[in-house]
């Protein structure tokens, strides 16, 4: 069965009887004048359809004894394709999504009105409409799903409108074999990109050179896309967690923090590594690096079903606090938030910071990051070591175990390249 069909069936299982779920890919966002940001379908919609095209919609109908699924995409438009690239035909949309019933978006209103009508009809007597009420989903430039919900409540007073966001989030939190394999492949390409980076690292380079080098590697070898904007931050620049500028020249004694990842079939890798540009850690860098590395390894050992992300965060804070006090890097316990000011974990998937109900205990099939860090302004050192792990029935499997993070391995690699 098509992966997207399996997902739709799981969602249908969660829906009330006599209900309709209506989802939108969304519309392009204007950047300025007539230029738009690159379009990405809303990820909940994509998760259920595989369709990456604006103005597409999905209807799931759960009747008493029969379910119905309809996909709507704009009619193929040759002129539009000549200007802005590939447009889907109905056949292509059918093939990708596994939905047999593909219609023009112009047909949405008539099918929807029929399904939502108060009188019994071919779909039964529908009493619930599910929408994804995330505020950012725009179904037209200026209309959100929340505005649609209000209009529907007025027009169809017999309907209860419910938010489906959390149900789809719960499905996305448990990864299938296909999803885990896709993340593994994204990590593999990322690992190759990092290996290539190490070969090319030299004192005096600019941060952008290394970022471009990584990105070019992925594009040229795998025709793959980035999962998120590449972060290459040398020295004190690493104190900014999502450092965006990449325009500093890397000095001879700098550590360089890389936070980067490619995506495969839409699934993200999210890896951080911190390497000395000279190939050798100095004493204070070594102390701080080892504290973070040991925390990363202890967290991976600790992670298992039943724990929450907050449990992991408390573990990381306690670990780093005692290391910082032991190393004489701080005196007061509560100062740890000055040197460790993010959380150590998030879910990973179609989004790099994947949708999640963060209070839910971990379950087998969750894929999360493990990313403790320490950041000191006084000596211009920022270290983060980030791996991607799969929660299993007994603990966790480190999916990025092959990407070097031990000091000996890093220093040996730099020596080997000369």
Coil, strand or helix: which one is 404?
Answer: coil
**Cα dihedral: 218, 246, 198, 202 (round 10):** 140
CB closer to ligand GLY, 110 vs 245: 245
The number of angstroms, rounded, from the C-alpha of 387 to the middle of its chain's C-alpha atoms is: 14
Residue 273 interacts, among ligand GLY, Mn ion, none and using kind-specific CB cut-offs from 5 to 8 Å, with none
Coil, strand or helix: which one is 374?
Answer: strand
Residue 42 interacts, among Mn ion, ligand GLY, none and using kind-specific CB cut-offs from 5 to 8 Å, with none
- Is residue 388 part of the contact set for ligand GLY (CB under 6 A)? no
The site map against ligand GLY for 263-302 (x = CB under 6 A) is -------x--------------------------------
Residue 207 interacts, among ligand GLY, Mn ion, none and using kind-specific CB cut-offs from 5 to 8 Å, with none
Q: Which residues in the 189-228 window bind ligand GLY by CB under 6 A?
A: 228
Beta strands in 52-211 (DSSP E): 57-62, 67-73, 102-104, 128-131, 138-140, 143-144, 160-163
- Is residue 354 part of the contact set for ligand GLY (CB under 6 A)? no
Pairing relationship of beta strands 367-370 and 271-276 according to DSSP bridges: unpaired
Among 215, 254, 259, 388, binds Mn ion (CB under 5 A): 259
Coil, strand or helix: which one is 126?
Answer: coil
- The number of CA neighbours under 13 Å toward the Cβ of 92 is 11
Stated as kind and residue range, the H or E segment containing 268 is strand 267-268
- Is residue 386 part of the contact set for ligand GLY (CB under 6 A)? yes
Minimum distance of ligand GLY from residue 109's CB (angstroms): 40
- Is residue 371 part of the contact set for ligand GLY (CB under 6 A)? yes
Residue facing ligand GLY at closest CB distance: 259
Question: Six-digit token pair at 245?
Answer: 């500028």
Region of 190-198, 264-272, 289-297, 396-404 interacting with Mn ion (CB under 5 A): 264-272
CB closer to ligand GLY, 54 vs 259: 259
Alpha helical stretches, state H, 29-117 = 43-49, 78-84, 90-97, 108-116
- Cα–Cα distance, 131 to 258 (Å, whole number): 39
Whether the Cβ atoms of residue 387 and residue 270 lie closer than 8 Å to each other: no
- Is residue 369 part of the contact set for Mn ion (CB under 5 A)? yes
Q: Which residues in the 245-264 window bind ligand GLY by CB under 6 A?
A: 259
Minimum distance of ligand GLY from residue 346's CB (angstroms): 6
- Is residue 400 part of the contact set for Mn ion (CB under 5 A)? no
- Cα–Cα distance, 244 to 230 (Å, whole number): 8
Minimum distance of ligand GLY from residue 367's CB (angstroms): 13
Coil, strand or helix: which one is 157?
Answer: coil
- Cα–Cα distance, 380 to 406 (Å, whole number): 21
Among 179, 270, 287, 387, binds Mn ion (CB under 5 A): 270
- Is residue 215 part of the contact set for Mn ion (CB under 5 A)? no
Residues that bind Mn ion (CB under 5 A): 259, 270, 272, 369, 386
Residues that bind ligand GLY (CB under 6 A): 228, 259, 270, 346, 352, 371, 386
């Amino acid at each position: 069965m098509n992966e997207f069909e399996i997902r739709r069936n799981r969602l249908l299982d969660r829906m009330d009887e006599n209900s309709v779920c209506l989802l939108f890919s969304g519309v392009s966002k204007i950047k300025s004048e007539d230029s738009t940001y690159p379009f990405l379908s809303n990820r909940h919609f994509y998760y259920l359809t595989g369709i990456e095209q604006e103005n597409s919609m999905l209807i799931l109908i759960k009747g008493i004894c029969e379910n119905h699924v309809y996909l709507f995409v704009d009619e193929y438009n040759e002129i539009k394709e000549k200007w802005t690239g590939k447009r889907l035909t109905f056949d292509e949309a059918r093939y990708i999504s596994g939905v047999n019933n593909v219609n023009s978006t112009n047909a949405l209103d008539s099918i929807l009105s029929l399904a939502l009508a108060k009188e019994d009809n071919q779909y039964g007597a529908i009493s619930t409409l599910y929408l994804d009420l995330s505020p950012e989903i725009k179904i037209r430039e200026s209309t959100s799903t929340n505005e649609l919900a209000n209009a529907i409540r007025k027009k169809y007073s017999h309907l209860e409108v419910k938010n489906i966001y959390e149900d789809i989030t719960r499905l996305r939190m448990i990864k299938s074999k296909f999803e885990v394999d896709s993340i593994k492949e994204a990590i593999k390409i990322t690992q190759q990109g990092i290996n290539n980076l190490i070969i090319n690292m030299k004192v005096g380079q600019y941060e952008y050179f290394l970022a471009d080098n990584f990105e070019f590697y992925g594009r040229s070898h795998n025709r793959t896309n980035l999962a998120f904007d590449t972060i290459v931050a040398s020295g004190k620049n690493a104190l900014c967690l999502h450092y965006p500028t990449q325009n500093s020249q890397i000095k001879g004694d700098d550590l360089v923090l890389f936070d980067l990842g490619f995506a495969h079939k839409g699934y993200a890798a999210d890896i951080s590594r911190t390497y000395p540009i000279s190939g050798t850690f100095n004493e204070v860098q070594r102390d701080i690096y080892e504290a973070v590395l040991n925390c990363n390894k202890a967290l991976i050992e600790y992670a298992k079903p039943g724990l929450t992300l907050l449990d992991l965060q408390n573990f990381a804070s306690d670990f780093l606090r005692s290391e910082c006090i032991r190393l004489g890097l701080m005196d007061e316990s509560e100062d740890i938030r000055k040197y460790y000011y993010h959380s150590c974990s998030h879910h990973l998937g179609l989004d790099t910071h994947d949708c999640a109900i963060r209070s839910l205990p971990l379950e087998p099939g969750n894929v999360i990051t493990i990313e403790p860090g320490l950041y000191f302004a006084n000596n211009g050192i920022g270290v983060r070591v980030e791996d991607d792990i799969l929660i299993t029935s007994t603990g966790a499997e480190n999916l990025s175990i092959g990407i070097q993070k031990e000091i000996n391995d890093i220093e040996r690699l730099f020596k080997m390249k000369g």
